[in-house]
Structure 1
């Protein structure tokens, strides 16, 4: 009888296990998509990926799938949380531990050690940001499947010891790119030359938005990274590697940003070594790093670099490969083993599956590192946050290059004057030894301290834009304070609603970086040689770009303030409008005023510009719109008792914005800006110019490349143009380029007939060729006696912020401050003699205009004009050299565009 019972129990157990096994069957990618991930010439779109994620979520007990916002085109984004079933039952506990350690508030070291042992390290893995970088999106599928399906001992260990967050960054672009690639029946014709940007507005620049969070996808991602979860490692997949290699990854080259905690830098190194070791162990050569790669840790704004400013180990890899098979080329200098490339790869044919395998291996290397070092990762996360809080609570000096230069200069001058005896360099490295007193004079000088707080007064001219700036901080995990009453500090009065940002918080590096100038090292290939170009921007200080006024505070700020909760955005204070029979004045210095103007004009309300005050005058019929603007946007509206005498009526213009096949990112950013400020516009293309279809527009906008300058083409494209027959007919009108021979004469004729052309950035150089006596001052004679651009060894200004003097009497500059902080990227500048029909918008008046970043040879800019207005026939050209619309970040100079969009 007992044997019979045992037999029945065994049978029941077998059936139970069998049913569990069936319930836990995870559909494979091959079953779902119809092909293996990594098959040549095959891509999945996002609709298929979303369906797969949902299907696996129904089958797997290792997965929680959460809605996490929608994209610019309305697709759903998901956070995929993967770990062991036991960990997922306690997921809120582990999320809370990660948050508490990352914020490092109200914890002792002993409490933090306990939490670090109790918690699970959190690792973020994403893909699909740049849609033509298809390895990134497809490794996500394969890794997702293996983590949910495999019972391999190593994977079970990952799941037991690590929380994995997986994220598709750009669903919109995935559908666009994959559908385009797969539309061709002939596999040999499949290509990625899509007709428009793969993110609705900004394409590749979606990875330039991670301190600003303009795009909703960036905001969605920031909420998870910086508010909800705070992972210790963030892995951002990209393509492609330098020629002759397979992967570019960490450790990265110099410079790294001076405000990082050293634990962050060595933490990146630790993860990087784990990645390359695993690839080498698995016989996967071709990993390039350090000085052999182009990537540094200097810049803020990218998906993997922005986490550095929150003490998170950010990892970027660029992986070679494509669904269309490729060849690993022969590059002789990459055939020799060296520290930056210890395991070169031989030239060979390369298949998509190989790239997927590399990517999955690197994911596993990171998960293995986290599993082995989980408590250390968590405790170091706390330690970096604690260090930041302590720095914000005391006098702290960041070791910027400018201070080292100042120290050495002071010492050299003392030696030269005889005040100091020159000491010969000694030791193996022949170092110059400088007495300690010179160090103390710089690094203990109170004037060189970092601020402990910043006060953003509510009475500044454009407080609504200041609030937008503060909200970027809040989206990025910073908390702020706001006053509920007026207060005084340091002999200055501050009104109610003033905002205070204290630096004694875990994400202090981000605060300092958004307020303080970047001091990029003078980075050249050799002394006196050409510059080593920054990966992206050299300087970006957001408070400067946005035109925010603030006061630096260097002591503890003990005044009654109300602290905001993490992730809760601020709103502009509500204003009211008193009834007036005469009309209203609205603030011409506030950007949001232009929203009001556009709403009023669309409703047929009369609007004028007061030339004396530069404010807008609004007819009394506009009160309903002004009530809404004052309540929602905090717009300052003055009810008038007397109509101003110096009024110029304004009306809307029909706006054409230049674009081209493949999409223009600078133009795309301006599309987004125009929509935010409620301007109507249409896109036009090169063929519209050549067919004179532009006559229907009152104003044409060329932002960035477009119009050819000198011998340079107007548009530079990545990759070759498609054959026309491979492009569907609806997109063929977008093809072509603005040409000097055909298009430029038509543009000149358009202006002379009464049109207006506004250029920003590189297209502005077209005025050199218009025969109006405007020249390029950044030219010199070369060795052949011909004029050529000044060598980059002498002059080089990568994206940085410069100080310029603006002519505020010109209508084109109304509402601007006299001194502008303006984004400059080797931008055009101008030299000319002013006349009634040719005048300046502003100048660089000093030989040291640099405010933030790097400006080698900046003295060449002295007395050059940053913008020129040329009246030609019945129309005019407004050419602005600097990047006044830079990635929709430079709010402080938006008015220089907006003022051109009315008549």
Structure 2
């Protein structure tokens, strides 16, 4: 007994000695206080930085503390500091998880106590077992939970103008590996912490250069100066947090790789926008496929964080009144979609390290002023705050420490919840319909069916394939699996409530069958007694087939996504190949080819085989030749994609889509329009969606602050990519617009998508389009029905009379009745009132036949909304969705939706590919 007593006393004395032996860095603390503008913005939890004798603090390494005025660090500096910490401390390691589109590394930092760092593989394995209750019984789960630690993931630097988190995370990491404070030790010993310090390194470096080049010298926040570099990633700007369904960008691949390797129980994404600290729960409506356990975790963790900040006297922390909780495609929603917990913060940032007076008097969230005291905001800020970078660091770090403390104290419950959510998902798959989703092998575009299967697999949803029997080749998603809820979410229609009090935060529909143009069937009594199912363990590939006999080849056209890329490839391989489009139905032996089908002459058998195998296209051989008056030659166009300098978001998605499809293009900007001679260089100019109006397009970034070079220099090496300009201010001007008009008058084609149609309508390039304001229309991103108006238009080849497209809020236009032949496609199936034929009696003529309304296969009216929600939809039905407007020798093809939205609505993209294939036959 005495031995045990003295041993315990000795251990306690040693612990106290270690604690008291730690030297506090008084100078660091003094600087924190100096750079914090108000004592209420200074929580006790961020003080007490240790002056470690061997491990350098940020101040010792960089020469300044984190949050110092005017100091922002690039990725090489940030990663270099973590690598130094890894060399100095056994409690931290760093490893590369991904590479960006521009070749920068994406790193992950791991922090834990001695036991955690020595047994990382063990703890990863434990969470992997809990992730799949099919391999882990409830009794086994109890033992695993007793020998497991929660993994907590912090994601920084996603949105590049939100510059504070990559800075704060360095100080947090140093604190966690050096402090022997009991609260910190509790976190270190009871959690495994993963940090993605800069999840978008390309944008971080561009933004840090922009800050030092331009905005560091600014003294007023509301001076109108552009706070952001024109590009973040190579392709994607703010939408890098909308890629969680596509998983197309390096940033998302890095986040997904971390999640599926580690199965973190909580993922916290660090953003900056609203005052002073928003902790996510959302106003709702919540996504209906999120487990109620997760929704409850959102609430309890948010309120725990707010209570911690309130306990330190910090004003301005709130929850609920920002965001909704519906869209499942955010990066961090990989957690919510896979039985973990995905959350985010929004702290108040200044897009740099300057201190500004910020006016909150006009800021409102969920209808309430940001400065009002509410149940969800118990201690509001004042209408004006004098805000510094250090204030931002304090709030972010105090919140994170509070959240880590909660997880460290409640690890067992979080582990139980994680396992139980998997159990719930499997049980729903067994007891609720459907029991399976079937993706039949017979599709308009079979390659897209394979793509759908692969996108489900990217989400770690299990997909089987029938390998025998009459359904051989079908893809089958059995629902008794851990991620059943996500599979259901992605494959069924969304029903966003029309009565929702607050507008949705983002798109509200994402049914992948509609977006990919793939038929998906539900099955409530799936049985494969006569055939086997094989789990896909690698990506599915559709190999096109060649049938028939003869020297010529035909591609039956059904608006397949890979036809245009195949034609570009063929012309590159064989310049003598003849490519023609069949304009009428063509009977080829036992097959009837639809209009738009491709007739190929002069190609080798090997080239035909490559088209079938590499592009997933079916070909038919035959000896017949279509009549010359029923075909037209294909001259593949030289395409330019135009970008503004004030909004590159959707232009980036268009470039990405073209590159993924193998469609060559040239990127152009205002300087190219001003230079003129456009028709000598290009056949088609695509103008992707860009915010603003015609005046914005003409004048661009205000010249008040010019010149603003975006060029690569020795001092600013990240600038000038993916495009450069000696001055990004100003637009093409009236001279540039005149050159654009000359381009189309001389025979070119301009394709405008969504909001960019404003440009051609408001600047007079076209005179026929009038803006139309649909009274009361609210049309957030949803899948809706459209109907063909001009069935002979090549733009609509391969599409049925009615079909779904994806549309969000955007401009509407109309043409006079006499020009209604310019309207190729309409919203909904009912005509406009002025198009409805008079049905009453006419003196001197017999009674007219009544026209039957369009019905679907069930005999019901085709609904306008397929997935999502539209309010006052009657005000848009009948109006044009695509207009084909002749201008001189050329054409303007004006879309009032975006068929290249976020590399997601692949079903709609062939409307653009049709225009490119047939660019000189659109009239």
TM-score computed with the length of structure 2 as normaliser = 0.81
- 1:373 CA drift (Å): 0.9
What is the CA distance between 1:198 and its match in structure 2?
0.2
- Could you tell me how far 1:306 is from its partner in structure 2? 4.3
Task: Give 1:843 deviation, angstroms.
Answer: 4.3
Structure 1 pair 186–76 and aligned structure 2 pair: CA distance change class (3 A): closer
Pairwise mapping of residues 6-405 of structure 1 onto structure 2 (< 5 A)? Answer: 25-167=54-196, 168-183=198-213, 187-188=217-218, 193-225=227-259, 227-241=260-274, 245-290=275-320, 293-322=321-350, 323-331=353-361, 333-346=369-382, 347-395=384-432
Pick the aligned partner of 2:466 from 475, 483, 487: 483
Q: Number of aligned pairs?
A: 795
**Mapping 1:607-618, distance limit 5 Å:** 607-611=579-583, 612=585, 613=594, 614-618=596-600
Per the alignment, residue 451 of structure 2 pairs with 468
Tell me the distance in 2 between the aligned counterparts of 1:795 and 1:541: 22
Which structure 2 residues correspond to residues 726-737 of structure 1 after superposition, within 5 A?
Answer: 726-727=708-709, 731-737=725-731
For 2:53 and 2:601, locate their aligned partners in 1 and report how far apart those are by CA, in whole Å.
69
Separation of aligned partners in 1, 2:202 and 2:292: 38
Residue 543 (structure 1) aligned with residue 513 (structure 2): yes
Q: Which residue of 2 aligns with 1:893?
A: 908
Q: Does 1:682 align with 2:666?
A: yes
Answer whether contact 1:62 1:85 (CA < 8 A) is retained: yes
1:424-445, Cα deviation, whole Å (9 max, x unpaired): xxxxxxxxxxxxxxxxxxxxxx
Relative distance call for 1:722 and 1:223 in structure 2 (3 A) is: farther
Q: Is the 8 A contact 1:320 1:355 kept in 2?
A: yes
User: 1:843/1:738 Cα in 2 relative to 1: closer, same or farther (>3 Å)?
Assistant: farther
State how 1:555-634 maps to structure 2 within 5 Å.
Answer: 555-559=525-529, 560-564=531-535, 568-575=537-544, 582-589=551-558, 590-603=560-573, 604=575, 605-611=577-583, 612=585, 613=594, 614-634=596-616
What secondary structure is seen at the aligned counterpart in 2 of 1:393? helix
Task: Provide the residue aligned with 1:762 in structure 2.
Answer: 755
1:872 aligns with 2:887: yes
- Give the match's secondary structure for 1:256: coil
- What SS does the aligned partner of 1:252 have? coil
* Secondary structure of residue in 2 paired with 1:296: coil
Which residue of the partner structure matches residue 853 of structure 1? 868
| Pairwise CA distance, 1:132 | 0.8
Structure 2 unaligned blocks of 5 or more: 1-13, 22-49, 363-368, 586-593, 712-723, 831-861
What is the TM-score when the length of structure 1 is the normalising length? 0.83
Offset, 1:136 = 2.3
Distance across 2 between alignment mates of 1:895 and 1:814: 9
Residue 394 of structure 1 deviates from its aligned partner by: 1.4
* Structure 1 unmatched ranges of 5 or more: 1-12, 396-449, 488-493, 526-531, 779-788
Deviation of the 1:173 alpha carbon: 0.9
Change in Cα spacing, 1:817 to 1:736, as seen in structure 2 (3 Å) is farther
SS in 2 for 1:255: coil
**Cα deviation 1:158-215 (Å, max 9, x = unaligned):** 1211111111311111111112222369744898645532011011110110011121
* Residues 434-453 of structure 1: pairs in structure 2 closer than 5 A: 450-453=433-436
Pair 200,308 (structure 1): closer, same or farther in 2 beyond 3 Å:
same
2:686 paired residue number = 701
The change in CA–CA distance for 1:727 and 1:357 in structure 2 (over 3 A counts) is same
Moved more, 42-51 or 108-117: 108-117
Question: Which residue number corresponds to residue 36 of structure 2?
Answer: none
Alignment CA distance shift 1:772-1:173 (3 Å): closer
Gap change, CA 1:579 and 1:803, over 3 Å in 2: closer
What CA distance in whole angstroms lies between the structure 2 residues aligned with 1:188 and 1:768? Answer: 37
Separation in 2 of the partners of 1:610 and 1:362?
A: 64
* More deviation, 873-882/193-202: 193-202
347-356 vs 632-641, which moves further: 632-641
Alpha-carbon contact 1:601-1:651 (below 8 Å) kept? no
Aligned-residue offset at 1:797:
0.6
CA distance in structure 2 between the partners assigned to 1:763 and 1:308 by the alignment = 35
How far, CA to CA, are the matches of 2:869 and 2:58 in structure 1?
A: 48
Supply the distance in 1 between the matched residues of 2:905 and 2:57 (Cα, whole angstroms): 47
CA distance in structure 2 between the partners assigned to 1:706 and 1:153 by the alignment: 51
Structure 2 counterpart SS, 1:58: helix
Is 1:644 equivalent to 2:626 in the alignment? yes
User: In structure 2, what is the Cα distance between the partners aligned to 1:663 and 1:768?
Assistant: 19
Residues 619 and 744 of structure 1, relative CA distance in 2, 3 Å threshold:
same
CA deviation after TM superposition for structure 1 residue 261, in Å = 1.6
User: What whole-Å deviation, never above 9, does each CA across 1:575-625 have from its counterpart, x for those lacking one?
Assistant: 465897723223433212222111112232332222233222233335444
CA distance in 1, matches of 2:244, 2:660: 19
Q: Using the TM superposition, give the Cα deviation of residue 701 of structure 1 relative to its aligned residue in structure 2, in angstroms.
A: 1.0
Aligned to 1:254, what secondary structure does the other structure show? Answer: coil
Change (3 A) 1:694 1:26: farther
In the alignment, the residues of structure 2 paired with residue 386 and residue 634 of structure 1 have an alpha-carbon distance, to the nearest angstrom, of 38
CA distance in 2, matches of 1:623, 1:842: 42
Change (3 A) 1:766 1:39: closer
The 1:634–1:684 alpha-carbon spacing in structure 2 relative to 1, beyond 3 Å, is closer
Residue pair 1:587, 1:593 contacting (<8 A) in 2 also: no
Equivalent-residue separation in structure 2 for 1:855 and 1:272 (angstroms): 32
Q: CA RMSD in A?
A: 3.0
Q: What is the CA-CA distance between 1:249 and the residue it aligns to?
A: 1.4
Q: Secondary structure at the match of 1:387?
A: helix
Q: CA 1:154/1:329 → structure 2, altered by over 3 Å: closer, same or farther? A: same
Distance of 2:456 and 2:228 partners within structure 1 = 35
Q: In 1, Cα distance between the equivalents of 2:63 and 2:634? A: 60
Query: Which secondary structure state, in structure 2, belongs to the residue aligned with residue 253 of structure 1?
Result: coil
Kindly indicate whether the alpha-carbon contact (under 8 Å) linking 1:80 and 1:165 is maintained by their aligned counterparts in 2. Answer: yes
Post-superposition offset of 1:238: 0.6
What CA distance in whole angstroms lies between the structure 2 residues aligned with 1:520 and 1:721? 43
CA distance, structure 2, for counterparts of residue 894 and residue 215 of structure 1: 19
Q: 1:140 Cα shift?
A: 2.2
Rounded to whole Å, the distance in 1 between the matches of 2:273 and 2:299 is 21
Q: Does 1:521 align with 2:497?
A: yes
Q: Structure 1 residues 176, 723: CA separation in 2 closer, same or farther (over 3 Å shift)? A: same
- 1:642/1:592 CA distance change after superposition, 3 Å: same
Look up the SS of the partner of 2:283 in the other structure.
Answer: strand
Residues 469 and 27 of structure 1: CA distance in aligned 2, closer, same or farther (over 3 Å): farther
User: Does structure 1 retain, via aligned residues, the 8 Å contact 2:206–2:231?
Assistant: no
1:115-160 per-position Cα deviation (integer Å, ceiling 9, x unaligned): 2222111111010111110012222222222223333222221121
Q: Distance in 1 between matches of 2:111 and 2:297?
A: 23
User: What per-residue deviation string (whole Å, max 9, x for no partner) do you get for residues 77-105 of structure 1?
Assistant: 22222211211222122112212222322
Classify 1:108/1:721 alpha carbon distance in 2 versus 1 (closer, same or farther; 3 Å).
Answer: farther
Instruction: Output one character per residue of 1:698-755: Cα deviation in whole Å (capped at 9) or x when no partner.
Output: 111111127835xx744899x977711443575245432366x655454333222211
State how far apart, in whole Å, the 1-side matches of 2:415 and 2:485 are.
19
User: Quick check: 198-207 or 591-600, which moved more?
Assistant: 591-600
